[in-house]
Structure 1
Amino acid sequence: MPEYDEQDPVDISRPNPARMYDYYLGGAHNFAVDREAADRVLAILPETREFAMRNREFLQRVVRFLAVEAGITQFLDLGSGIPTAGNVHEVVQAVHPDNRVVYVDHEPVAVAQSQRLLADNPYTAVVHADIRDHETVLNHPETRRLLDFSQPLAVLMLQVLPFIPDTDDPAGVVATYRDMCVSGSYLAVAHSLSFDYWPGAVAEAVEMYTKSTHPLNLRTPDQVAAFFDGYDLVDPGVVFTAVWRPDKPVSDEEAISSRAVAGLGVLP
């Protein structure tokens, strides 16, 4: 059970998707209400844990590609969630120790744990903000300290857009960050797929998220691909998460088990 300052505005009356996701990955930064909700989802849809693992593996592959092959040295991770092993800064700073990372999340547990983890890391910071509040994110002192928007950078939106409903214009949110970036910058997106791509009682599992702090909005591959408006897609395009530049051959069954698609775009 994690410990937090009593003044932290942590809502433990309802499950939180970031803390549930941490539980799926085997993390310890969650509460009983999160574990109970996650266990109910897993009872209905055991594939959820595999989905979470596939997404974490994609994160590691895409940021390694960006740091090694694309030569990107600065990263803005929007909706970064609870820190777990193999986080963005661990991967990219293994390539070069002074690669810079700004994590952004509005979930207090995620922010508190990130701050503790990063206390001795001068090239990494966490911003407590909702990614829809782009002015706070982009003008935050830590963002300005670490990121140079006159140079290419990578914006990561990995499983955060499903928590932005269409009424809040997720495409507009993506475009706002795109417009702050220069040519040669990248956008990485991973996004849960619509009901047709899940087996069993997926609708019942998604309904359970309506009782959480952030309801879930599933989308089709075409809808996810549309978020890359203005970008040139990097091969292999928007594909099942497991088959985006995999480290080893992936079967059709493994690909489908992603239950999500992912892609990487570069600004021309």
Structure 2
Amino acid sequence: MPDDARSQLDTSVPHSARIWDYWLGGKENFPVDREAGDAVLRILPGIVTSARNDRAFLGRAVRFLAREGIDQYLDLGTGLPTVDNTHEVAQRATPGSRIVYVDNDPLVLLHARALLQSSPEGSCDYIQADIRDTGTVLAEAARTLDFDRPVGLMLLGVLNHVLDDVEARQVVEGVLSALAPGSFLVISHTCDATTENLDGEAMRRAVREVMERGGTPICARSPERIEALFAGTRLLDPGVVSCSLWRPEPSPWPQEEVPHYCGVAAVP
């Protein structure tokens, strides 16, 4: 990693993207991230399964959008590159797909530029910006995407870092307002539902644990609050559900209910 990029990193506090990378078995994390990740594991032993199911949902959602004719994607809150990133799934289905990744973490964008290589027929671009700055996001993304045509808007594991519900909806609405009819909205989000298989209080304790360690601000929302983020769109079946239960396919890990919920919606 170049010295100028490393100088921008704060390795004294945990970072959500690096904790996620640790749970997925990646190498782009530091002791402080592993300590925070292990603390969460003690409270939520199934969080690794949850993270993997969230990643598998990304693949199923992008393949679905590709079958619906989507060949442009705006991925907000990219996270650290791992297996089957948005452009890899999309370009396997439609080699000419164009993808724009957005993140505000210099480490994420550094690795994105190095590792997220487009197919020859398609295109990838990378924007360092806060997703709440929708004007900048849209202006920069327009260099690669044609907003007169449908776009797949991906918000996976990122709106949980926008703590205020109104502000989170404004982020979604601000981007949706620029999208053509026929676009799709894809969201996944940490969830504090209490069900036969999920312990909502344990999720809330895990969130507090990360916050108290100085980590990236994060919240868990109920299924109802997550569904509210889809306002103005048409939720597709099966609605807002556990990531493991959204149109499941055969998987190498258990497809049990997990505390990451998701949904896919059509933009009217």
User: So what's the TM-score if we normalise by structure 1?
Assistant: 0.91
The residue aligned with 1:134 is: 134
Where do residues 20-59 of structure 1 align in structure 2 (5 Å cutoff)? 20-59=19-58
Distance 1:233 1:202, change over 3 A: closer
Distance 1:218 1:136, change over 3 A: same
SS, match of residue 228 in structure 1: coil
Where do residues 123-162 of structure 1 align in structure 2 (5 Å cutoff)? 123-140=123-140, 143-162=141-160
1:212, distance to aligned residue in structure 2 (A) = 3.5
1:118, distance to aligned residue in structure 2 (A) = 3.4
Identity of aligned residues (%): 39
Distance 1:242 1:119 in 2: 28
SS, match of residue 85 in structure 1: coil
The residue aligned with 2:227 is: 225
Q: Is the 8 A contact 1:241 1:255 kept in 2?
A: no
**1:52 is matched by which residue type in structure 2?**
A
Where do residues 1-268 of structure 1 align in structure 2 (5 Å cutoff)? 3-7=1-5, 8-67=7-66, 69-118=67-116, 123-140=123-140, 143-166=141-164, 169-194=167-192, 196=194, 198-199=198-199, 201-210=202-211, 211-248=213-250, 254-256=255-257, 258-268=258-268
Distance 1:172 1:179, change over 3 A: same
Q: Deviations over 1:37-61 (max 9, x none)?
A: 1112112221111110110000010
1:168, distance to aligned residue in structure 2 (A) = 6.3
SS, match of residue 36 in structure 2: helix
Distance 2:118 2:148 in 1: 27
Q: Deviations over 1:209-229 (max 9, x none)?
A: 213342221111111111111
SS, match of residue 4 in structure 2: coil
Q: Which runs of 5+ in 1 are unaligned?
A: none
SS, match of residue 196 in structure 1: coil
SS, match of residue 155 in structure 2: strand
Distance 1:248 1:165 in 2: 34
Distance 2:30 2:91 in 1: 30
Distance 1:226 1:116 in 2: 36
SS, match of residue 19 in structure 1: helix
1:138, distance to aligned residue in structure 2 (A) = 1.1
Q: Is the 8 A contact 2:161 2:216 kept in 1?
A: yes
Distance 1:226 1:195, change over 3 A: closer
**1:205 is matched by which residue type in structure 2?**
A
Distance 1:219 1:161 in 2: 10
Q: Is the 8 A contact 1:23 1:29 kept in 2?
A: yes
Q: Deviations over 1:226-250 (max 9, x none)?
A: 111111112221111111111149x
**1:32 is matched by which residue type in structure 2?**
P
**2:123 is matched by which residue type in structure 1?**
Y
Q: Deviations over 1:146-170 (max 9, x none)?
A: 1011100010001111110117610
Distance 2:174 2:155 in 1: 13
Q: What RMSD, in angstroms, separates the aligned Cα atoms of the two structures?
A: 2.1
Distance 1:45 1:78 in 2: 26
Distance 2:40 2:137 in 1: 32
Q: What is the aligned length? A: 261
Distance 1:113 1:203 in 2: 31
1:255, distance to aligned residue in structure 2 (A) = 3.6
Distance 1:260 1:147 in 2: 29
